[in-house]
Structure 1
Amino acid sequence: MHYLLEKLHRDHRNLEKILDLLTSQLDHFLAGRESDFDLKIELLEYMEAYADQGHHPLENVIFTIAKPLVGERAELMDRLMTQHQMLGQLTRTFRNSLENIFQGGVMSRDELEVQGREFIALQRQHLSLEEQEAFPMLDEILQESDWAKIIEQSPNHDDPVFDKPDKLRFQTLFEYLSKAEHNGE
């Protein structure tokens, strides 16, 4: 497997951790238990800062180069790139809702739950589609010359939590992850 596919797979595992944490925080909030709004907002900021601005653009370069090579499966490449745009918008909408509530705005728990559950479900479905269908196909079809073009066109965007930590911007998230790691979670 090409190192860029391995990197994307690693990113997906990290994004699953973020989605698990967001699910847990959302569950606590909706059950009326203590929930950390700073953490939830940072989780969405991370999704914007890395998934939407680094991870998805890299995948889009790969999908664009692969599209003419995959024949009938070109529709899958188009669908995944369209999902990237939709997921970016869902991320911004959900983060804005959380920030609004944090700043004293009014929104029903039901409405927030629908937004949150939809966001998490669609993110998970997207990751699964890439892992189960797109990545195996790309691994099989793309040749070294294709990967060279991909590398040439790829954005250089480090993961601000798992690769090159930005501990100031994501302080609450780092504290939570460090505590969870220390407790063996």
Structure 2
Amino acid sequence: MHYLLEKLQKDHRNLERILDLLTSQLAQFLAGRESDFDLKIELLEYMEAYADQGHHPLENVMFSVAKPLVDEQADLLDRLMQQHQELAQLTRTFRYSLENIYQGGVMPRDELEVQGREFIALQRQHIALEEQEAFPLLDSVLREQDWASIIEQSPNHDDPVFDKPDKIRFQTLFEYLSRVEQGETPAAG
């Protein structure tokens, strides 16, 4: 498997960690327990900063290069690229909702729950589709010259949490992950 596919799979593991954390924080909030809005907002900012601006654009380059090579499976790649746009919009919408509540705005709890659960479910379905169908397809059809073209066109965008940490922008997330890695159960708020 090409190292770029391995990188994307590593990204997916990290994104799944973020989604697990968001799921936990959302469940606490929806159960009426204290939850950390700074953390939830940072999780979505991370999704925007990396998934939407680095990870998905790299996948889009790969999908575009592979499309002419895959015939009837081009629809799968088109669908995934369309999902990237839809997921970016869902991320923004959900983050705006959380920020609004954090700043004292009013939003029905069930509406926020629908937004959060939809966001998390669609992210997980998207990752699964890429892992199970798209990545094996790319691995089977892309040749060395295709990979060279992909590398040339690829965005240079580092992961601001897991690769080149931005500990100022994502301070709450780093503190939470650090406590988890040390075996502590982080406080909610």
Amino acid at match of 2:45: E
Cα separation, 2, equivalents of 1:142 and 1:181: 37
Aligned-residue offset at 1:22: 0.1
Cα separation, 1, equivalents of 2:104 and 2:170: 22
Cα separation, 2, equivalents of 1:156 and 1:50: 11
> What secondary structure sits across from 2:107 in the alignment?
coil
Q: How many residues align?
A: 185
Aligned to 1:183: 183
Amino acid at match of 2:90: L
Aligned-residue offset at 1:112: 0.2
TM-superposition CA deviations, 1:114-165 (whole Å, max 9, x none): 0000000000000000000000111111000000000000000000000000
Aligned-residue offset at 1:55: 0.3
Aligned-residue offset at 1:34: 1.1
Aligned to 2:71: 71
Aligned-residue offset at 1:167: 0.1
TM-superposition CA deviations, 1:48-92 (whole Å, max 9, x none): 000000000000000000000011100000000000000000000
Cα separation, 2, equivalents of 1:34 and 1:11: 29
Q: Quick check: 1:89 aligned with 2:89? A: yes
Amino acid at match of 2:175: E
> What secondary structure sits across from 2:34 in the alignment?
coil
Cα separation, 1, equivalents of 2:126 and 2:135: 12
Aligned to 1:55: 55
The equivalences for 1:165-180 within 5 A come to 165-180=165-180
1:32 and 1:76, CA in 2 relative to 1: closer, same or farther beyond 3 A?
A: same
Moved over 6 A (4+): none
The equivalences for 1:1-185 within 5 A come to 1-183=1-183
1:11 and 1:184, CA in 2 relative to 1: closer, same or farther beyond 3 A?
A: farther
Aligned-residue offset at 1:99: 0.2
Amino acid at match of 2:21: L
Per the normalisation by structure 1, the TM-score is 0.99
Aligned-residue offset at 1:23: 0.1
Cα separation, 2, equivalents of 1:179 and 1:141: 43
Q: Which runs of 5+ in 1 are unaligned?
A: none
Aligned-residue offset at 1:182: 0.5
Aligned-residue offset at 1:184: 7.1
Cα separation, 2, equivalents of 1:50 and 1:134: 20
Per the normalisation by structure 2, the TM-score is 0.97
